């Protein structure tokens, strides 16, 4: 055995290959994305035309929302000069159907349309800078989306890879139009529990159901004629409740808010990251990324005209009730719908670590 071990070790040493260290990148070097033939994405900038959005305001708890901001946005060195605070305890749950999603990059050769059904949870945040008194002064309103579930791989991959959206897969049962909006169901892909002793196999399982339980006066025929009318009606349903004593809403915030909404701008912020290949609990890239989306064309919209019961199931992969302190059952009295064409543009990295 000793001689065989000696021979084996000699052979390993003979054929062992240690690659040389990679040379440093030259100044200003930016690698080009290498396209695969089966690329599963439609890169931004892009449009989402004929997007139908069913919107349900929900209410969480300010400490939970702030804890999420601190964990996912306020953890980097950027937080020494710029931080994000929840602007309200409310969240807008949006169940959407995009009829035509496509890139607007004229140079991208793989042109085509992708339809998408999804659900997103929008958290309005105040983007704040530190003043000389140690107060965080709001400069503009942005949205953070802690949960996004979609039904096709193109939206999943592009959202995660290029933008950093934390997208997951789901199956949806939606009404054919707002006039028949009586029931919604979402089955999410993942684990309802985590258990090393008795592991569960990931699958699509019920997570969210929405059922109409009563009619309201808003059911009368009508509609908003513009984005401005729709926004003013919806804005009246929200209350701003900043609970942090070092957070103040300054004049720049109100100016930017009005400017953004007047031009139908929806600023967003999110955490983009990739898991390291050598140490799985580390990130090989992390960035706080900001990007804008725009409402290109407002088609129509109105109140859904009823009270709706929103019910979440306990789901370990999507613990939204614990994360945001949302009740398992909520009755929403002010749901509404909007149909519009949207545009998404390239973002910027406000901070990044590689």
Mean pLDDT of successive 10-residue stretches along the chain, which has 354 residues: 69 65 84 87 93 95 96 96 91 96 92 96 92 87 95 92 92 94 97 95 98 74 82 66 60 56 78 93 95 92 93 97 96 93 94 91
Helix (H) or strand (E) holding 341: strand 336-344
Domain of residue 171, residue span: 38-353
* Structure-token match 């901070």, residue found: 351
Does residue 260 sit within a domain?
Answer: yes
Q: What pLDDT does residue 303 have?
A: 92
**Residue 132 DSSP symbol:** T
Pairing of strands 183-190, 203-215: antiparallel
Does residue 26 sit within a domain?
Answer: no
Go through the chain and tell me how many residues it has: 354
Q: What pLDDT does residue 257 have?
A: 57
Q: What pLDDT does residue 12 have?
A: 64
Q: What pLDDT does residue 9 have?
A: 73
Beta bridge mates, 13: none
Does residue 31 sit within a domain?
Answer: no
Does residue 33 sit within a domain?
Answer: no
Decide: helix, strand or coil at residue 19. Answer: coil
Token readout for 29 is: 């070097």
Residues 6+ apart with CB under 8 A from 321: 312, 314, 327, 328
Q: What pLDDT does residue 8 have?
A: 67
Q: What pLDDT does residue 88 have?
A: 85
Of the candidates 35, 69, 119, 5, which has an alpha carbon nearest to the alpha carbon of residue 244? 69
Q: Which pTM was predicted?
A: 0.89
Q: Residues 119, 170: contact at Cβ < 8 Å?
A: yes
Q: What pLDDT does residue 249 have?
A: 59
Does residue 1 sit within a domain?
Answer: no
Q: What pLDDT does residue 133 have?
A: 86
Q: What pLDDT does residue 140 have?
A: 86
Decide: helix, strand or coil at residue 205. Answer: strand
Q: What pLDDT does residue 94 have?
A: 97
Does residue 8 sit within a domain?
Answer: no
Report how far residue 72's alpha carbon sits from residue 80's, in angstroms, rounded to the nearest whole number. 15
Q: Establish whether the linkage from the previous residue to 45 is cis, with ω within 30° of 0.
A: yes
Q: Residue 96 maps to which CATH number? A: 2.40.400.10
Report how far residue 261's alpha carbon sits from residue 231's, in angstroms, rounded to the nearest whole number. 8
Q: Residues 141, 267: contact at Cβ < 8 Å?
A: yes
Beta bridge mates, 84: 127
Does residue 21 sit within a domain?
Answer: no
Number of independent structural domains in the chain: 1
Report how far residue 42's alpha carbon sits from residue 151's, in angstroms, rounded to the nearest whole number. 15
Decide: helix, strand or coil at residue 349. Answer: strand
Pairing of strands 247-249, 136-144: parallel
Does residue 141 sit within a domain?
Answer: yes
């Amino acid at each position: 055995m000793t001689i065989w071990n000696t021979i084996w070790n000699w052979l390993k040493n003979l054929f062992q290959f240690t690659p040389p260290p990679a040379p440093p990148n030259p100044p200003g070097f930016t690698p080009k994305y290498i396209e695969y033939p089966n690329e599963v994405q439609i890169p931004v900038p892009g449009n989402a035309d004929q997007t139908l959005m069913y919107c349900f305001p929900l209410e969480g708890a300010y400490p939970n929302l702030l804890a999420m901001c601190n964990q996912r946005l306020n953890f980097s060195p950027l937080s020494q000069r710029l931080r994000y605070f929840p602007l309200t305890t409310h969240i807008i749950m949006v169940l959407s159907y995009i009829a035509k999603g496509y890139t607007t990059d004229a140079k991208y050769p793989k042109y085509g349309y992708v339809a998408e059904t999804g659900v997103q949870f929008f958290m309005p945040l105040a983007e704040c800078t530190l003043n000389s008194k140690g107060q965080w002064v709001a400069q503009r309103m942005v949205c953070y989306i802690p949960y996004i579930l979609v039904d096709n791989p193109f939206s999943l991959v592009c959202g995660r890879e290029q933008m950093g959206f934390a997208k997951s897969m789901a199956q949806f049962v939606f009404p054919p139009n707002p006039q028949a909006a009586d029931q919604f169901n979402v089955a999410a892909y993942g684990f309802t529990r985590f258990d090393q002793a008795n592991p569960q196999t990931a699958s699509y399982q019920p997570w969210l159901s929405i059922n109409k339980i009563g009619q309201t006066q808003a059911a009368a025929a009508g509609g908003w004629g513009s984005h401005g009318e729709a926004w003013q009606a919806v804005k009246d349903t929200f209350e701003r409740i900043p609970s942090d004593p070092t957070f103040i809403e300054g004049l720049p915030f109100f100016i930017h808010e009005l400017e953004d909404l007047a031009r139908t701008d929806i600023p967003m912020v999110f955490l983009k990251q990739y898991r390291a290949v050598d140490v799985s609990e580390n990130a090989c890239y992390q960035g706080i990324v900001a990007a804008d989306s725009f409402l290109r064309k407002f088609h129509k919209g109105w109140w859904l005209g009823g009270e709706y019961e929103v019910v979440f199931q306990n789901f370990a992969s999507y613990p939204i009730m614990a994360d945001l302190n949302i009740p398992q059952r909520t009755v929403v009295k002010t749901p509404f719908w909007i149909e519009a064409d949207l545009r998404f543009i390239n973002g910027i990295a406000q901070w990044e670590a590689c």
